[in-house]
Amino acid sequence: MSANGIVLVTGGSRGIGAATAALLANQGQRVVISDIAPGPLAGTQTILWPAPFDVASESAVVSGIADIEAAHGPITGLVNAAGVFGKMHPVERVRMDQWDREVNIDLRGTFLVARSVGVRMAQRRHGAIVNVASVAGMTSGPIHAYTAAKAGVIQITQTLAAEWGRVGVRVNAVSPGFTRTVALEAGIASGALNKDLLAGPTAMNRLVEPVEVAQAIAWLLSPMSSGVTGINLPVDAGFIAGTTWAAYGGLPEAPEA
């Protein structure tokens, strides 16, 4: 990132994108947020791009990135946080219109924005991109399109890192575990999700906080990670580490304080 540039956060009006935008702004970065349903982040110095930003539309992305840079300066940091969560269905009930929507937003959208911004960064020989993937892209579950899309995000992260590494552009991903966003809390409140089943398999026995994902993203954008590119960093409270322990009798309980 550069003091003369901006950080663009797609999906920045809510969830992990909002937490990241707020944290980066508090760190003194000039942050522009875009969203399909744009809304300002109260109490922050973030800049709202007021037009709806559809990451799945190639023409909208290309023109939108050009307009954002014309208005606010070069994008030196990009956070691809725009996405939709998957529908949980047995495979025979997966509707292809739902599949297409999830893949178009989560995978196609990530690629389109990363390409449009990354080509500009490559011409300037400077920039950092962080794509928001998911532990769902590293494991299995009955969210068939979402797991496939997020696995694809991890793969294109590695490919783009290799594509642009020699011109000074770093590309990394974070893979959040079950994160306590408003959407997740709503799922728990409705009974569609069970908090104990989400948190129980994790090594830390808890959900991830949005700001914890934001902190990982901020590090990957910063000069502190200047030698890091092409990685996928799980931020999952130990979900991947802890899940398989069920086969051995479960994770050890914490001793009494």
Query: Can you give the CATH number for the domain in which 236 is found?
Result: 3.40.50.720
Tell me the average pLDDT across 88-114: 95
86 in a domain, yes or no? yes
* Beta-carbon-side half-sphere exposure of residue 65 (alpha carbons within 13 Å): 26
pLDDT for the residue 3:
55
- Residue at 144: amino acid letter: H
Q: What is the pTM of this model?
A: 0.96
- Assess whether pLDDT exceeds 80 at residue 2: no
Asked if 160 and 171 count as a contact pair (C-beta separation under 8 A), the reply is yes
The two structure tokens encoding residue 68: 């954002």
224 in a domain, yes or no? yes
What is the domain range of residue 45? Answer: 6-177+209-240
pLDDT for the residue 140:
93
Domain tally, the chain: 1
Tell me the average pLDDT across 78-90: 91
252 in a domain, yes or no? no
Of 122, 113, 129, 141, residue with least CA distance to 78 = 129
Tell me the average pLDDT across 167-179: 98
The two structure tokens encoding residue 191: 């009974």
Q: Given the residues 49, 111, 146, 178, select the one marked as catalytic.
A: 146
Backbone dihedral angles phi then psi of residue 121, each to the nearest 5 degrees = -60, -40
| pLDDT digit string, tens, across residues 129-150 | 999 999 999 999 999 999 999 9
- Assess whether pLDDT exceeds 70 at residue 219: yes
CA angle 151, 170, 20 (to 5 degrees): 70
182 in a domain, yes or no? no
pLDDT for the residue 153:
98
Tell me the average pLDDT across 75-100: 93
Rg of the Cα atoms in the chain: 18
- Assess whether pLDDT exceeds 80 at residue 257: no
- Assess whether pLDDT exceeds 60 at residue 222: yes
146 is catalytic: yes
231 in a domain, yes or no? yes
184 in a domain, yes or no? no
CA distance 35 to 55: 9
Question: Lowest-pLDDT range, 32-36, 152-156, 185-189, 219-223?
Answer: 185-189
pLDDT for the residue 152:
98
- Assess whether pLDDT exceeds 80 at residue 1: no
The two structure tokens encoding residue 82: 């725009």
34 in a domain, yes or no? yes
Of 86, 58, 93, 83, residue with least CA distance to 148 = 86
- Assess whether pLDDT exceeds 60 at residue 231: yes
Using the structure block, give the residue that is written with the tokens 């709806």. 52
192 in a domain, yes or no? no
DSSP state of 179: B
